[in-house]
């Protein structure tokens, strides 16, 4: 973790904290940052939350529909809430948020989870669209839950244990030190299937292929040769 002071026009800006890809907790920071809210009007959800517990640090982010949690060895960052101003493949820069902002009670959400069923879903081979589509279909077959594809993309590259109860309630994904709690999409109507339909006449769309007939032709000397 590196602290950087930015100077512009002789005015010192607020001090930021740089987390580089060389940091031990880099993957954890990248994981949780994918769940923070993109809605600027929900300021209290647009950052990440850090807590310390013993020799561990807990990193948290949520947008109200999903919650990402990562437990890592203690990071040298004060507990609190941080805005992510820069988030690239090589680094991210965190800025302390207003102390008056109260982060959502994420622990209460965990206490209310109901888990009676468990499945395993392999998202390791999901870097291509075909693999991702296959995993998404397997998840739907097992749970019956419709999940926003955008919420599953940050989970790619790992195998997850998924705990759930009903398809309309939260599904909890767990892989080693990472956890993602995702709410399924609601208000999805089932498509009616008409099983008694007339022949749509698809055969009339494409004409029959023309058959080329080969006929023998006589040569000048009376010999036959094949010609089209």
The highest-confidence range among 62-76, 84-98, 118-132, by mean pLDDT, is 62-76
Going by C-alpha positions, the residue among 80, 90, 77 that lies closest to residue 3 is: 77
- Higher-scoring residue by pLDDT: 46, 219: 46
Residues in the chain: 228
Quote the mean pLDDT of the chain.
82
C-alpha–C-alpha distance, residues 191 and 140, integer Å: 16
C-alpha–C-alpha distance, residues 124 and 10, integer Å: 49
pLDDT tens per residue, range 173-194: 999 999 999 999 877 777 888 8
Tokens coding 183: 């709410």
pLDDT tens per residue, range 5-35: 544 444 445 578 889 889 899 999 999 998 9
Q: What is the CA radius of gyration of the chain?
A: 29
Residue 29: predicted pLDDT:
94
Sign of CA dihedral 90, 70, 42, 96: negative
What confidence category does residue 62 fall into, taking pLDDT thresholds of 50, 70 and 90? very high
Full-model pTM: 0.77
C-alpha–C-alpha distance, residues 140 and 162, integer Å: 12
């Amino acid at each position: 973790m590196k602290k950087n002071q930015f100077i512009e026009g002789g005015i010192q800006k607020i001090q930021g904290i740089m987390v580089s890809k060389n940091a031990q907790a880099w993957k954890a920071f990248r994981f949780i940052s994918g769940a923070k809210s993109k809605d600027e009007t929900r300021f209290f959800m647009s950052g990440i939350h850090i807590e310390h517990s013993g020799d561990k640090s807990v990193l948290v982010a949520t947008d109200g529909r999903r919650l990402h949690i990562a437990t890592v060895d203690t990071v040298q960052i004060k507990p609190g809430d941080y805005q992510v101003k820069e988030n690239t493949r090589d680094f991210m820069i965190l800025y302390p948020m207003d102390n008056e902002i109260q982060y959502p009670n994420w622990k209460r959400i965990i206490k209310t989870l109901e888990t009676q069923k468990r499945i395993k879903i392999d998202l390791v081979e999901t870097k291509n669209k075909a693999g991702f589509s296959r995993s998404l279909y397997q998840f739907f077959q097992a749970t019956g839950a419709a999940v926003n594809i955008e919420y599953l993309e940050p989970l790619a590259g790992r195998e997850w244990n998924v705990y759930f109860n009903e398809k309309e309630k939260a599904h909890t994904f767990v892989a080693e030190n990472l956890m993602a709690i995702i709410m399924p999409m609601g208000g999805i109507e089932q498509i009616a299937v008409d099983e008694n339909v007339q022949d749509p006449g698809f055969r009339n769309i494409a004409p029959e292929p023309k058959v080329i007939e080969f006929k023998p032709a006589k040569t000048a000397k009376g010999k036959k040769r094949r010609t089209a």
